[in-house]
Every structure is written in C-alpha cells, then in structure tokens.
Amino acid sequence: MSNVLIFGPPGVGKGTQADLISKKYKLTHLSSGDLLRAELKHGRHKVKIKELLDAGKLVPDDMITEMIEKAVVQGLKKGGFLFDGYPRTLKQARSLDKFLKSKKVKLDAVINLKLSEKDAEKRILKRGQTSGRSDDNKKIIKARFGIYRTQTVPLLEYYKKQKKIINIDGRPAVIDVFAKIVEDLHEALKS
C-alpha cells in the first residue's frame, strides 16, 4: 500500500494528475479543496469556509486536519491515498505524519509539480471561464500564490529532509506530465 502527496502551486495541475494517478495505482484521491467545496453546500462551517475560499486564504489547520483525518479513517481499508492540497502548512504536515504513524502507515512520496506563476495563472483564468469557482479570478489568484509562497513552499524543505520529493516539470501536455510521474514514481516506490 502506498500513500502519495501531490504538491505544487495553484493551477499547476495537481487535481488533473491526481485523478490519473489515483486510477492507475488504485489510491483514494483526497482533495482538500474538493472536501471544502463540498462542505460549502451543507457543512456546519460553510459560512466561514466560504469567506476564506472567496478570499483565497487558508482555512484553519485544525478544521481541515479534522476533515482529512475523518476521510482517511473512512478510506483506510480500501488501501492507499493520493493527498492533493493537504498538507499545505508545516503544522498540517506534522499532523499528517503523526496521524499516519498512529495508523501504522506513512507518506511514501511527494510529487512536486513545477510551473511558473505566469503559466499557472493562465490555466486558472481559462478554467475560471467555466469552473464557477469564486477564487478563479486575477485578484484572488494573486493572494493564493502569495500564501503558497509563504506558507506552503516551506514544506518542500520538510519533505526534502525526508528524501521524499520527486520533481516534475508541469509544463508539458497532461499526458506527458503523467507519463513522467509514472516513470519516476515507479522508481521511488521501489526503493
């Protein structure tokens, strides 16, 4: 059983690749963004979540950690997970390590998808024409990139120390990025 994290800036293609990887490796795709957007419809914190998502800000660590842990417990019997969008802060990363350890599993690899902010912005703005996401606009994209740089990028050092990072160029076509991920992930999961 393997557990993999897909990491990278907003719009880099995490969700797109996570769908493909989770199908190929039969992992449960756990997207924190999708969990939060589902919560907007009926969840007990929907007003607070909406306010934060609309502003491109992170929801509190404890809130998202509780949601992820609940989903992990529900899916554990089915096998491994593909974490997408969580963890996003050092506190979340430490929580996840501790929680997985308590379940006698661990994170095996971190796929770091790389793309310039300029290209990622283009992708998000294009998606924004049809996505209906309130955070897919120029002003909020800027805020999301800022938060990514200050709060999320430090995780790369954290996982580098654990020797889990697989760097992947996010610029090529979806299918080519996927092929490279499969090639490198195969090696990483072997070792």
Segment interacting with ligand AP5, rule: CB under 6 A, options 7-15, 21-29, 69-77, 102-110: 7-15
Helices 117-131 and 138-147, interaxial angle, to 10°? Answer: 130
Count of beta carbons in the 10 Å neighbourhood of residue 93: 21
Segment interacting with ligand AP5, rule: CB under 6 A, options 51-59, 74-82, 155-163, 181-189: 51-59
The reply to whether 92 sits near ligand AP5 by the rule CB under 6 A is yes
Report the nearest approach of ligand AP5 to the CB of residue 191 (Å): 26
The reply to whether 43 sits near ligand AP5 by the rule CB under 6 A is no
First to last CA, the chain: 14
Window 69 to 88, contacts with ligand AP5 (CB under 6 A): 85-86, 88
Residues 6+ apart with CB under 8 A from 153: none
Q: Is the peptide bond before 87 cis (omega within 30 degrees of 0)?
A: yes
The reply to whether 13 sits near ligand AP5 by the rule CB under 6 A is yes
What is the residue-wise DSSP string for 156-178?
A: HHHHHHTT-EEEEE--S-HHHHH
* DSSP one-letter code for 136: -
Window 103 to 132, contacts with ligand AP5 (CB under 6 A): 123-124, 127
The rounded distance, in Å, linking the Cα atoms of 84 and 35 is 11
Cβ closer to ligand AP5: 47 or 191? Answer: 47
The reply to whether 16 sits near ligand AP5 by the rule CB under 6 A is yes
Residues in the site for ligand AP5, rule: CB under 6 A?
Answer: 8, 10-16, 32-33, 36, 52-53, 56-59, 64, 85-86, 88, 92, 123-124, 127, 135, 144, 173-174, 177
